[in-house]
Structure 1
């Protein structure tokens, strides 16, 4: 699994300070994608277990959630990283352009954002979006948290 970018973010999961890993190799190629450079496999640096654990350790007590922007195409690696984050006390989230994901991945998520980017409908901050932000345990849609 290659990580193009790592950031501490405040808006991807409302109410959480999140460690956000942007994974390259996206196979979806959504029309109007704001990050087509993420389509290329192997772009960025290999996200080793040591580096990942070091980041989670460094931000423990400050950040509360780990977010993966993509990566569901690396199911085994993603599940292992989600499990580790949960074991360390972090909440977990996946942003995907898919409508559904493998239940084995979903079992290790607190939140899930689904739906391809459609520039005509907008993102989670749009009332017309096709995307959904879901609390996995309850299957409750929480898009209203993104509306201003």
Structure 2
């Protein structure tokens, strides 16, 4: 069962998008120096189709993207939720922020417009850091993934 701790409308996680971001709980990664250890517990509100659609009915016109921040314990369920967004609100983009180094076997990346991969490594920094291990990909309709991490770098 997918659960979320909270949600917010954010502007920095997906370049050029106004994003409704759900902080998914039950993270199995246990990255050293994790900035959100409260997301490691399997607590919070159930995020099923009904809950997702109720929240989108409230916020769907205010956003251009829906992001699932986490969900590594149940990635296939996260992909199914992304498909629900696409089916019901085809104009909205979808994103998944994962702490995994690679996509899980059988994962349908084409359910998303964006996928972030890579666990938190404090010494390497976030997506904005030149040395980061994390990558943000734009996913094509055929499932191909284009690295767009450089969009987080400020131009001089």
The two structures have a TM-score, normalised by structure 1, of: 0.92
**Structure 1: gaps spanning 5 or more residues:** none
Listed as ranges, the matches of 1:1-148 within 5 Å are: 1-41=2-42, 43-87=43-87, 88-89=89-90, 90-102=92-104, 103-137=106-140, 138-148=144-154
Distance across 2 between alignment mates of 1:106 and 1:48: 20
Shift of 1:60: 2.3
Distance across 2 between alignment mates of 1:22 and 1:80: 17
The alignment's C-alpha RMSD in Å is 1.4
Task: Count residues in correspondence.
Answer: 147
Q: Is the CA contact 1:114–1:131 (under 8 Å) kept in the aligned structure 2? A: yes
Distance across 2 between alignment mates of 1:86 and 1:26: 24
Regions of 4+ moved over 4 Å: none
Q: Is the CA contact 1:75–1:105 (under 8 Å) kept in the aligned structure 2? A: no
Distance across 1 between alignment mates of 2:28 and 2:109: 19
**Structure 2: gaps spanning 5 or more residues:** none
